[in-house]
Structure 1
């Protein structure tokens, strides 16, 4: 009687890339999945997607009841979302998927992965520690100690060449890179790495 849910925010889109879809092997065994459109496909922010095997379970969890509520004969969107009214974000999501097509999604998703690999390689060559296996679009970066990592992150954010947030990886402070824009080029990555180097130098003076 266990319900298995997969929060696929970034990662579920790996299923759309021929060279990455092995990462999602077995996800079909879950009962429900969620994935963001904005984090990978660059749709408007609130284009979230929920997939559920059991329609009745989804409706019973989200349906609001009241004597004043009138349901239509056809599929009623308010039965499948927490809100009873919202903008028709499905249109933007549909338009993006329709425009990109299977090959376009493949190229976009795999392109994010390649830029993440580039980040990891160039930062490693510049003396930074790469804490994770870069299997998708996330890179966790650290300096020699937590203090240097935090100061480098603060300096990096002040430089405004690229934006990264902080994280913790097995108790170790890290700088988290999420490559999530289809327009990010190899040159953008190299320029961002130079900003990392500059940010670190500011604490070593």
Structure 2
């Protein structure tokens, strides 16, 4: 390696290490002055390039102070975990490898490691062991891949060649989704051309779960989308009451398990009983596994169905059916499954369970303390989500805004049953009991301060 390149990368490592070392002291959300300083990036593209060291310095000096400390211990928004050290280290090495991890021919190392990671994922989540596992950019992209495979199979069962004839004149595939389905599922369906107005909503109960008594009619042309971990309450659709009915009707069942599917690895695995009966699943790594962003999984019971739907073989680049380029959207792709492997290898089965169970306990204890202080806890806290409301809508908004402005913590707004609330997510491996105690203390103080 050229000396200048070595020096530059060493300086990048030094700055990155300094950033990580100070993550606990950073404001949970950047200060106004730091955000204003970002305007310095708004400049014309220079005719003459700058020195690489200067580029790096500008990034660190201007952008680092304006980052959200979601990699820290006091971030409770959007079910975002911090990156485990082993996964972060793996990412650095993968960047140095700079592999096009599409197949064995492009990267034997990435191919081998991602195959193991896929096997470990099915073991951890206790899903059919011969399922295909594609490592994609996000749960949205992975959902799109799974739903594309589902539609292709459902049409094939009706004698329709989707690959050859497309959708013009094809039998209609009916889509039934939960009335509380996540927006990313709706986005994937919209992109695939199903039409938001044509989706059939399955009514939910007071916890946000699909109500089996009100399940719409299903048949052999139906795609049923369920969820493991409702985004506000953390609740699970009753899979044992729903999936056998769907399978008996010939429907395809997909489960959105972006964060909730990881409960299969916890001491509360019974919450997800029956999810293994579905046809496909999606989950994220950056949420509860605490791996880096750009690492989600499309999992399909019928491995050949996912591979056929996503196939991208070319005359100059053929690969096995289960090559990663044939299991997800990307042809040229980074070896994103390596960080997933590193997280699973570093935690082990027991370590992952301990991490998840700690968050489950912290969520219950946080809910109990807030409830005792007069807050209304709106969910049953079966997972790592605590859904909270104060004495009035105005006070709920005021507490959330004051907490965000404090810089001590960050969490976001939501609406539950048409009224404002806020959602506290326990997801980061860095979050200690002391951090949760500080969050509760702050919220209680703000409630007292904003009381009418």
Structures share fold, TM-score greater than 0.5: yes
> Contact 2:283–2:298 at 8 Å: present in 1 too?
yes
> Contact 2:367–2:381 at 8 Å: present in 1 too?
yes
> Contact 1:167–1:176 at 8 Å: present in 2 too?
yes
Paired residue for 1:193? 440
**How far apart, in 1, do the equivalents of 2:278 and 2:341 lie?**
24
- Corresponding position: 1:121 with 2:380: no
Please state how far the C-alpha of 1:64 moved relative to its aligned partner. 4.0
**How far apart, in 1, do the equivalents of 2:431 and 2:417 lie?**
29
- Corresponding position: 1:167 with 2:414: yes
Matches within 5 A, 1:5-154: 5-17=254-266, 19-64=267-312, 70-73=317-320, 75-154=322-401
> Contact 1:6–1:34 at 8 Å: present in 2 too?
yes
Aligned to 2:317, what secondary structure does the other structure show?
A: coil
**How far apart, in 1, do the equivalents of 2:273 and 2:316 lie?**
41
Please state how far the C-alpha of 1:179 moved relative to its aligned partner. 0.4
Q: Whose RCO is larger (CA < 8 A, sep 6+)?
A: 2
Please state how far the C-alpha of 1:203 moved relative to its aligned partner. 3.0
**How far apart, in 2, do the equivalents of 1:51 and 1:69 lie?**
27
> Contact 2:307–2:321 at 8 Å: present in 1 too?
no
Larger Rg: 2
Please state how far the C-alpha of 1:99 moved relative to its aligned partner. 1.5
Structure 1, residues 24-58: CA drift from partner, whole Å, max 9, x if none? 10001110111111111110011111210112221
> Contact 1:111–1:182 at 8 Å: present in 2 too?
no
**How far apart, in 2, do the equivalents of 1:56 and 1:74 lie?**
7
Please state how far the C-alpha of 1:95 moved relative to its aligned partner. 1.1
**How far apart, in 2, do the equivalents of 1:161 and 1:182 lie?**
18
**How far apart, in 1, do the equivalents of 2:256 and 2:415 lie?**
19
Q: TM-score, with normalisation over the residues of structure 1?
A: 0.92
The verdict on how the C-alpha distance between 1:114 and 1:69 changes in structure 2, with shifts beyond 3 A counting, is: farther
* RMSD of aligned alpha carbons: 1.8
**How far apart, in 2, do the equivalents of 1:74 and 1:133 lie?**
43
Structure 2 gap segments, 5+ residues each: 1-219, 221-250
Number of residues of Structure 1 aligned to a counterpart in Structure 2: 203
**How far apart, in 2, do the equivalents of 1:62 and 1:142 lie?**
44
**How far apart, in 2, do the equivalents of 1:148 and 1:186 lie?**
26
The verdict on how the C-alpha distance between 1:75 and 1:29 changes in structure 2, with shifts beyond 3 A counting, is: closer
Aligned to 1:5, what secondary structure does the other structure show?
A: strand
Structure 1 gap segments, 5+ residues each: none
Spell out structure 1 runs of 4+ moving beyond 6 A.
none
